[in-house]
Amino acid sequence: MFELHNLGWNDFQRLCLTITREILGQTVESFLDSGDGGRDGAFTGTWSAKGQESLSGPFVIQCKFTSRINYVLRTADLSDEVEKAKKLVGQGLCDSYVLMTNAGLSGTGAGKIKALFESAGVKHVATFGSTWINQQILENKHLRMLVPRVYGLGDLSQILDERAYVQARTILESMREDLAKVVVTDAYRKAVDAINKHSFVLLIGEPAAGKTTIASLLAMAALDQWNASTLKLDDPGKVTEHWNPDEPSQFFWLDDAFGVTQYEDFLVHRWNHILPQIRPMLRKGAKIVMTSRDYIYNRARKDLKVSAFPLLKESQVVIDVQNLSAEEKRQILYNHLKLGRQPRSFRTEIKPYLEDVASHQRFIPETARRLGDPLFTKDLFIDKYYIAQFVERREQLLQEVLQGLDADSKAALALIYMRDGRLESPIQLRPSETQALERLGSNLGGCVAALEALKGSLALLSHSSGEYVWQFKHPTIGDAYAEILVQSPEHLGIYMEGSAPERLVDQVTCGDVGIEKAVVVPKSLFPQMLAKLEELTRSKSYKSPWLSTFGAKRDLQGFLARRCSKEFLSLYLQGNPGLLDQVAEPGLFLDTVPEVRLAKRLHEVGLLPEEKRKKFVETVSNYALEGQDVDALDDDGIRNIFTDGEFEELVRRVQTELLPRLGDVRRERESNHSSDEPPEEYMQKLLELFDSLKNKFGDDVDAAKLIDHEIRRTSEWIDDKTPEEPKRAPRKLGKVETQEKPQSTRSIFDDVDANEDV
């Protein structure tokens, strides 16, 4: 059964309203103030409830909520309500009385209650207790989606079939506590609409704005509504790897799609590689939800190939989750305090200040979570000024909490950070990590014990991509830890020494190059970083030696291109002059190969020698003239490496040598197609080449006509080679309407300190 006593009076009224509409088939006109004559809700009209006689006239709905567990409603609890009902009958406002309660109702008790109200003049009395309400939640999937908090207030095995339950348990069990505190926001409603219409949604927002919570709700609803095969993944490549065309109801959830705390360009390049495959997946029934921090997405969108996935242009599938209404903020704060770990005495003491907290301009859902956890409030003085500072200085206060931890707890968080936020469980330490822990005054046993103690507050054991991993409870904890590292060169040195090089290059910068949330390595630690980069070339992160070499090269060149100052780059090139030869002759797919990004950076800071620059220009020009890759025409970074004369010559030669033989380029591409490769995906690169040419030569009528002809012929070839897809009924979660709000002067925080154990 569901823990309805944890809803609070406000959410219980909303649940009753939803049940009245969805189950009993009646739209309530309004919810009224609890002190206004004993009517929590009312309507006038005809009610034809299923399996019951048709009733008409004025109706009164009364919601009786209790915070007490397993409480059974008594007639004595309704004495005031009976008197109010008698007055309403006299005023002609109450022919029928509907009582809904989360308390227990026995058959005998329900009969006595019915007689009590009939004696007050009510013609028809209907009572619905906790057993009946629980039954409606169990039997109605759409009701659960409309009130998704119930997913966290009950046993999922009661709701889901065995397969879906196993997936829900492995994916969402670590979030059950958070699901119980969920508030249906406008962003959630928009996300459901986007999934229904487009099968895809990207949720963006500032750190701790609630992106993951909404994604988890969508995943839970997909499991519940469709028994969807639900996968939570952390790498774009795994989406197509796990996609099964014969299973139309797959649901993919990718948190922090373009980087956890910092923008990771290699993730975007992987997305660019698989975006053409996403469209047929969506057409065949797959659903995808992605999340990203707003500042990371703003950087990623410059590199995303939107032409390969036009949905990213549509605002209705890119949803900003951080715009919360005042009512939503109050409910979020209430839920986290009511269901948090704070004792009743704390809730009572802070209750007078909660309206101010919810209305503070810097309030975010993470603020509510911290107020609900004693770990974050043990030094909080309950006073208007200090509570306002708690909300205002959320980043600084989190750092103070981390700095106040014991040595084992600090070391445990350091381990998570050294593994780039994903510490596999059970923990297997590398030798460098063992040494780092010793220097931090801890060991493996101490860290394991600390992680168990921190679970739920600062750390989280979750299941992702087929393995259990320790993560920060929220990425903002990683942000705060990074700030602490920056302030302590000694600890930064320990962290660098203990970190695997392939993790390190995704977190630090050598010198300040303007990457938000990155740890800046000072000049004094450059030698240590050079040694780490040498280790990177011997990476064992991949099973095959070839992949290890390729992966290390990609990571190294990507790091040098994006995360290094001119001073560090100059120092690195002194010891590795051969790198310039690689940069001068990049491979195909110029938009993804790391040599191009590094060439741009070296040219920008004046470290690309002239002979290497000319070789680079020659290489990318030949790719364009051969019709293999024309990125040199429309990539501003590549264009800047050319002189004006060189670029004008390239444009002239493309127009006179490539355009006349575009048909040959297309036919050669068609002839090399393998039957096991999807036609649309296979031709995507060629279509992008045509788009680039049209952007450059579109003003030339003859050139535009020629390019359009080849685009049309390519599209016809794709249609001809693509097998007809079977007709499938669309899967929709259903509409989530804006819930009518109780029109009450009663504060939502009125019962935040109610004693549930009475």
| DSSP type of residue 474 | S
Q: In this structure, are 330 and 316 located in the same domain?
A: no
In a domain, 567, yes or no: no
pLDDT value at residue 613: 96
pLDDT at 304 over 50: yes
Confidence at residue 589, expressed as pLDDT on a 0 to 100 scale: 86
Asked, for residue 247, whether it belongs to a domain, the answer is: yes
State the Cα–Cα distance between residues 316 and 370, nearest whole angstrom: 31
* Residue finishing a domain among 84, 109, 139: 139
Whether 165 and 313 map to the same domain: the answer is: yes
Cis peptide before 426 (omega within 30 of 0): yes
**Res. 30 pLDDT band, cuts 50 70 90:** very low
Bridge partners for 203 per DSSP: 291, 319
Q: Where are the alpha helices (DSSP H) in 140-199?
A: 141-146, 156-159, 162-172, 176-179, 186-198
Per-residue confidence at 707, pLDDT binned at 50, 70, 90?
A: very high
Is pLDDT above 70 for 464? no
Structure confidence at residue 53 (pLDDT): 53
The domain boundary residue, chosen from 299, 320, 341: 320
What Rg value do the Cα atoms of the chain yield, rounded? 31
pLDDT reported for residue 27? 58
Strand partners, 101: 64
Distance of CA 214 to the CA centre of its chain: 7
Instruction: Please check whether residue 469 lies inside any domain of the structure.
Output: no
Rounded to an integer, what distance in angstroms lies between the CA atom of residue 468 and that of residue 466? Answer: 7
For residue 181, what pLDDT band results from cuts at 50, 70 and 90?
A: confident
Confidence label for 289 from pLDDT (cuts 50, 70 and 90): very high
Task: Examine the pLDDT at 587 and tell me if it is beyond 80.
Answer: yes
Provide the β-strand partners of residue 459. Answer: 455, 472
| Lowest-confidence segment of 62-76, 262-276, 597-611 by average pLDDT | 262-276
pTM: 0.76
pLDDT confidence band for 583 (50 / 70 / 90): very high
pLDDT at 465 over 70: no
pLDDT of residue 451: 95
Reported confidence tier of residue 758, pLDDT bands at 50, 70, 90: very low
The answer on 301 and 270 residing in a single domain is yes
Quick check: is 239 in a domain?
A: yes
What single DSSP character describes residue 655? I
Q: Is the domain of 110 the same as that of 167?
A: no
pLDDT(136) > 50: yes
* CA pair distance 417, 459, nearest whole angstrom: 11
* Alpha carbon distance 268, 274 (integer Å): 10
| Confidence (pLDDT) at 285 | 85
Question: For the residues 85-110, what does the mean pLDDT come to?
Answer: 90
Average pLDDT, the chain: 85
Contacts of residues 427-434 at CB distance under 8 Å and 24 or more positions apart, as own/partner, are 427/470, 430/498, 430/500, 432/497, 432/498, 432/499, 432/500, 433/498
**CATH number, position 196:** 3.40.50
Residues 123 and 235 in one domain: no
Among residues 392, 414, 449, the one where a domain terminates is 392
- Give the sign of the dihedral formed by CA 281, CA 284, CA 286, CA 288: positive
Question: 113: domain CATH number?
Answer: 3.40.1350
Three-state secondary structure along 34-51? CCCCCCCEEEEEEEECCC
Q: Tokens 């968080």 sit at which residue?
A: 413
For the segment 542-554, what is each residue's pLDDT rounded down to a tens digit?
Answer: 444 544 566 788 8
Identify whether the C-beta of residue 749 lies closer than 8 Å to the C-beta of residue 355.
Answer: yes
**301 and 179 belong to one structural domain:** yes
Same domain, 174 and 208: yes
Mean pLDDT of 728-742: 66
Q: Is 475 inside any structural domain?
A: no
Structural domain contains residue 690: no
Together in a domain, 176 and 134: no
Q: Which of 474, 465, 470, 468 minimizes the C-alpha distance to 261?
A: 474
Highest mean pLDDT among 114-128, 165-179, 205-219: 114-128
Half-sphere exposure of 482 (CA within 13 A, CB side): 24
Domain count of the fold of the chain: 3
pLDDT of amino acid 546: 47
Mean per-residue pLDDT, 605-630: 95
The residues, ordered by sequence, that sit 6+ positions from 268 with a Cβ below 8 Å of its Cβ are: 258, 300, 303, 304
pLDDT attached to residue 171: 63
pLDDT at 497 over 80: yes
Q: What is the pLDDT of residues 379-395, one digit of tens each?
A: 899 999 999 999 999 88
**Residue written as tokens 């310039």?**
580
Amino acid at position 131, single letter:
T
21 and 101, same domain (yes or no): yes
Q: Give the tokens for residue 448.
A: 């394991």
Helix (H, G, I), strand (E, B) or coil at 241: helix
222 and 265 belong to one structural domain: yes
At residue 142, the 3 state secondary structure works out as: helix
CB 38 within 8 A of CB 61: no
Q: How confident is the model at residue 738 (pLDDT cuts 50, 70, 90)?
A: low
Q: For 662-686, write each residue's pLDDT tens digit.
A: 999 999 999 999 887 888 888 888 9
To 5 degrees, how large is the angle CA 14–CA 16–CA 19?
110
Residue 96 and residue 245 in one domain: no
Residue with tokens 């200085």: 393
In a domain, 70, yes or no: yes
Range of the domain at 219: 152-320
- Edge-to-edge strands, sheet with 459-464: 423-424, 467-472, 459-464
Q: Is residue 196 part of a domain?
A: yes
More confident residue, 342 or 184: 342
Tell whether 196 and 340 lie within a shared domain.
no
Supply the DSSP symbol for 605.
Answer: T
